Amino acid sequence: MESTSKVRGRIPWVDTLRFLGIYFIYLAHYGEAAPRIHPIIFIFAMPLFFGLSGGMEAISTEKEFWPRIFKKIKTILLPYFFFIGISLILATILNQSSFPGVLSTLREILAAQRNTLFAPMLWFLPALFLTELIFMLMRLVLKPAWALLLASTIIYIFLHLFMHDPLITPQWFWNLDTSLFYLFYYALGYWGFPKLLRVLGDGSKRPPLWFTAGGMLSAGYSLALLFDKEFLTEALAAIDQVPVIRNGVPVANALIIIWALLLAALILQPFKLLQKIGRETLYLCGNEYIVKLLLNQSLGLLGLAVAPQNPLAAYLLSFFLILAAVFILIPFERRLYQRLLQFFGLEKLPAPGA
């Protein structure tokens, strides 16, 4: 096993895991075109990404509060406005929106609320920023990772017992209610990721037998979920009326599926393309609406239409959309975003000749 301190920089299996997460999100947003897997993806996708974000925070070398806040603004919050700005321009041109229509959309953008935002996936960025901010404020008071996890668990239970379900009816500005819900997974990643690194290291060595066996069992359980066989729900049916038990089942299902995905990421990590895609998850999040719109309109010029008619087509099209974003859109967008940061004095200009 490798110590956490020795595993720095890019971790191949983490990037591959990110790829799996973003791929399944693209696939999920085709809805009923992939009916069997569609509801399963929403069990694990957001817990995976909030957990990974907490894990990255746990191994971050930046410890000062205000530098970390500024970094989060540059890497999460400002990209939201960057991508939503591009999306708004394209949507306005496409729909020939009136001025009142644009103003209405701007209000929608400022609220950034799930289930109402016209570019659906972009709600994640403000929600992640608020989750990071809340967690950093909590760290000013609570130092041990276990204490942060305990506090986040109490918040999670409180939300379920006494408030609306933010996953069904988000109501608060910038998805603050959703952020508090996913704070648990963020704290779980913060607490558990260093331990996971000590087990898996950079993935260059074979994982322990217990981890592989657990991952295979988790994969079997996940396949059973895919075919509507919910063993955990059935096993706990007698005590399902206890709120803590009932609300704990989705958490257990998410963690079991993520274990299976961890094993898959370890197996697939030698594929450099998947790692490359995994390094672009923030830009892929920002580009889902953009790449789908541009592809549909570009093919429309040729009299073609893209709409998956069956699950296999949805699987293939999701991957092609990701490739188009990674190799066509993102290189341009990255340079444009860096230029905007430099123009507004948020990042230093490159030295002459650099």
Could you tell me if residue 335 is inside a domain? Answer: yes
Assessment of whether the complete model's pTM goes beyond 0.85: yes
What's the domain count of the chain?
Answer: 1
Amino acid 351: pLDDT: 56
pLDDT of residue 4: 47
Residue 110 covered by a domain: yes
Tokens of 325: 């974003």
Confidence at residue 6, expressed as pLDDT on a 0 to 100 scale: 47
DSSP output for 310-332: SHHHHHHHHHHHHHHIIIIIHHH
Identify the domain containing residue 100 by its residue range: 4-343
CA distances from 207 to 60, 121, 196, 197, 296 (A): 24, 34, 11, 11, 43
What are the residue ranges of helices labelled H in 73-208? 78-95, 99-111, 124-139, 145-162, 176-200
- Note the pLDDT of residue 350: 66
| In-domain check, residue 349 | no
Give a yes or no: residue 73 inside a domain: yes
Find, among 94, 71, 144, 9, the residue nearest to 295 by Cα.
94
Tell me whether residue 354 is in a domain: no
Mean pLDDT per block of 10 residues along the chain (354 residues) reads 53 98 95 86 96 96 89 95 96 90 90 87 95 96 97 92 84 91 97 97 94 97 92 76 77 96 97 97 96 91 83 94 97 96 85 52
Geometric angle at alpha carbon 292, from 278 and 285, rounded to 5°: 35
Contact 79, 115 (CB under 8 A): no
Region for residue 112 given its phi and psi (left: phi exceeds 0; alpha: psi -120 to 50; beta: otherwise): left
Burial degree of 48 (CB within 10 A; 0-12, 13-18, 19+): buried
Structure tokens at 154: 């109490």
Q: Residue 5's pLDDT is what?
A: 44
Instruction: Classify residue 245: in a domain, yes or no.
Output: yes
Residue of 168, 174, 163 lying closest to 113 (CA atoms): 174
User: Does residue 52 fall inside a structural domain?
Assistant: yes
- Asked whether residue 322 is domain-assigned, the answer is yes
The amino acid occupying position 103 is L
